[in-house]
Amino acid sequence: LLDQRKLPGQLEYFDATSFDDLCFAIKEMIVRGAPSIGVAAAFGFAIEAARLSHMLKAENLLKLLPSIKEKLDNTRPTAVNLHWATDRLLAAAVALLSEPITSDDFRSRTLSLAQEIFDEHIQTNCKISSTGATLVKQNASIITHCNAGPLAVCGWGTALGIIRFAHFAVLNPHVYVDETRPRNQGAKLTMWELAQDKVAATLICDNMSGYLMSSRKVDMVITGADRIATNGDSANKIGTYNLAVVAKYHSVPFYIAAPLSTFDAVAKTGGDIPIEERDSIEVTHIEGKSITAQGVCALNPAFDVTPAQLIDGIVTEVGILRPPYLASIAAAFGQSTFVRQQNENIQYMK
Ligand code: MRU
């Protein structure tokens, strides 16, 4: 895993060779971003199930599989892609063990599925990007928040993928990137990714978007999402909600870009989405140094929910979903071949 904590200063890799390494990497945000976490979790599940398959009989392994999923699901609570990936691995592992299978075959089949999920994500991101680029006008001025580029989504990008696509299509976009306190994914990761492609980009503090929209041309806002409820309410990095409110006030279109694996068929509204609370040290300290008085109390919710009525469209691999989202999201799931296999979810969606 490319160690995202060290960027942009150092390009270092973290070797996650065991299940515990993988859980640690997700928890500590060595790998981060909802889709990337999902893919990492798929490999984590495969590695652990394969290890145990060499030691246990099928019936005993079957009993342990749900606990592998549970441990992974608990590493980061908001990004639903993680559950989506572990659901898929669990279902596949159970199916494989229902027939006689050697542990070597079991290992290669579960690892192949994780690889398949990885590959699918890249294709999905490309579809989201080309579709979303149709929303981008020539010379558009765009605000984005957090990081929804190749690092966060295991290749190419979703919200940032749209911007990259528009850039390579010579639409000449200019991006304002929120620094995204407290972890500064915008300043550290999004700016780094945009610099590599030579996309015109300007870093701003999170509290500057109101000023920008009131004083300069801003054509649109695009962000990613970590979990989307069936009514379109979307959880994303803390601060996204503020941005959406300001965009609505200034009549600037606000878009979300996310794969179908980010939709939670069980969450009816944003109120059903668990919001991760992280250590307050991320707020009180920057790069290990305190920036406030000793012992102060600080709040650190990692995500907020943007209500569906503030979202002009959700760009997915099956098209741009528009309000009313209850209907457009259900229709999108009707087109998805993969989600049809996830019985529990699709039944609810229908
Ligand atoms: O850094 P994280 O994992 O806490 O943040 C998740 C995200 O990357 C963002 O919320 C992003 O906008 C959506 S995921 C591409």
Alpha carbon of 11 to those of 37, 55, 250, 341: distances in Å? Answer: 19, 37, 39, 38
Q: Is 226 annotated as catalytic?
A: yes
Q: Quote the pLDDT of residue 336.
A: 65
Catalytic residue among 226, 264, 304, 312, which? Answer: 226
| 333 phi, psi to nearest 5 deg | -70, -30
> For residue 307, with 0-12 CB atoms within 10 Å meaning exposed, 13-18 middle and 19 or more buried, which class applies?
middle
CA–centroid distance, residue 14 to ligand 1 (Å): 19
Q: Is the pLDDT of residue 341 over 80?
A: no
Nearest CA to ligand 1 atom 12: 224
What is the value of pTM for the model shown? 0.93
Residue among 1, 28, 32 to mutate when testing ligand 1 (max atoms within 8 A of CB)? 32
pLDDT band at 334 (very low <50, low <70, confident <90, very high): confident
pLDDT in tens, 124-156: 999 999 999 999 999 999 999 999 999 999 999
Amino acid 120 reads E
Nearest CA to ligand 1 atom 6: 33
Q: Is the pLDDT of residue 15 over 60?
A: yes
Cβ(147) to ligand 1 under 6 A? yes
Integer Cα distance of 315 and 41 in angstroms: 24
Q: What percent of the chain has pLDDT over 90?
A: 93
pLDDT in tens, 23-50: 999 999 999 999 999 999 999 999 999 9
Q: What is the average per-residue pLDDT within 290-305?
A: 97
